Amino acid sequence: MTEGNFVDYVKLHVTSGNGGKGSVHLHREKYITKGGPDGGDGGRGGHVIVRGNPNMWTLLHLKFKRHFRAEHGGHGSKSRSSGADGEDVYVDVPLGTVIRDTETQEILHEITEEGQQVVLAEGGKGGRGNWHFKNSVNQTPRYAQPGIEGQQFDLTLELKILADVGLVGFPNAGKSTLLSVITSAKPKIADYEFTTLKPNLGIVEYRDFQTFVMADIPGIIEGAAEGKGIGHRFLRHIERNSTLLFLVPADAPDINDQYEILLDELRRYNPDLLDKERLIAISKCDMLDDELRAELKTELDAQLNVPYIFISSVAQQGLQDLKDRLWQMLNN
């Protein structure tokens, strides 16, 4: 999927159908000139329903179609015939979609399961026909109920990617390179910052044909929680990851300091993110000789309170060990 095709934020206007009118009808036949009331009920207006679709990964299909209107219910007719219900309209969305009220920003629903259905706008009820209002005092009522009008709402849909492992790091730390090496994903890779502008997903193949999903989001910079850079727009995508993989390059001025900055940005964005399992991958370790690596390891053992691992995506070093560690963390 290209970056331009990844859409994770759209606004919709949904309108349900009006209920049909009840019928005002008096029964008439050849030998029945003054039959009783027999007007039927109006049909229900159509709902607008959102439905979870596991085959979708983005909200791209909603980028250019933002208005959804369901059918109105049919009117009642003679012989107590009810009007047809309005046809429902279904809006398919990927799993992980959050639905908010555009005006209040209140979260209304979250779609996390295959086939999960939520009514966004309920169709209006049909009006009752005049035969419902017959009584001993008024045996020929000449009135019926109108249908109830449908609902309309402005809604905002946000996608939070459902992945097992989320990659967290500064720009140009090697996240996209790692994703391209251990999965079949083809993210854009270059030697400048903010090469990745949209999240990328990849499926990591593990032993015995088992797999897990890894997500790479644009690089985070200091102050991202306050809106600096572009990574802050995508921090919500790691809220549903069960494990966070912090990527810090071996040539960083201070590996522990960079890790603490990243951790602090996550803490300020959502403190619950710190409850997830964490692993630090020291990338670009092919630049280190044995002496430098031993010296760095001694330094990190004294500073870090989370597990870490040395890897090199380009030289294919430590990748199987990384998969083993991640798989173990995912299945604890």
Q: Is 191 exposed, middle or buried (0-12, 13-18, 19+ CB in 10 A)?
A: exposed
pLDDT in tens, 141-191: 989 999 999 999 999 999 887 788 988 888 877 788 888 888 876 654 444
Q: What is the pLDDT of the chain when averaged over all its residues?
A: 86
Encode 296-311: b = buried (16+ Cβ within 10 Å), e = exposed: beeebeeeeeeebbbb
Q: Are the CB atoms for 81 and 40 separated by under 8 Å?
A: yes
Counts of helices then strands in the chain (DSSP H, E): 4, 14
Predicted pLDDT at 211: 87
Going by their DSSP bridges, the two strands 308-310 and 277-283 should be labelled as parallel
Amino acid at 131: W
What is the three-class DSSP state of 177? Answer: helix
Predicted pLDDT at 5: 64
User: Could you tell me the CA-to-CA distances from 254 to 245, 260, 308, 310 in Å, in that order?
Assistant: 18, 10, 15, 15
- For the entire predicted model, the pTM comes to 0.73
Predicted pLDDT at 68: 97
Predicted pLDDT at 70: 97
Please name the CATH architecture into which domain 165-330 falls: 3-Layer(aba) Sandwich (3.40)
The CATH number of 1-159, from 3.20.180.10, 2.70.210.12, 3.40.630.10, 3.90.850.10, is 2.70.210.12
pLDDT at 219 over 50: yes
Q: Return the domain boundaries, the chain.
A: 1-159, 165-330
Query: Hey, which bits of 27-173 come out as E strands?
Result: 48-52, 67-69, 89-93, 97-101, 107-111, 117-121, 152-159, 165-169
CA-based nearest residue to 246, from 260, 230, 227? 260
Amino acid at 286: D
Amino acid at 306: V
Two tokens at 205?
């193949």
Question: What value does the mean pLDDT take over residues 27-54?
Answer: 89
Two tokens at 258?
């960079």
Rounded Cα–Cα distance for residues 37 and 297 (Å): 90
pLDDT in tens, 308-328: 999 998 888 889 999 999 999
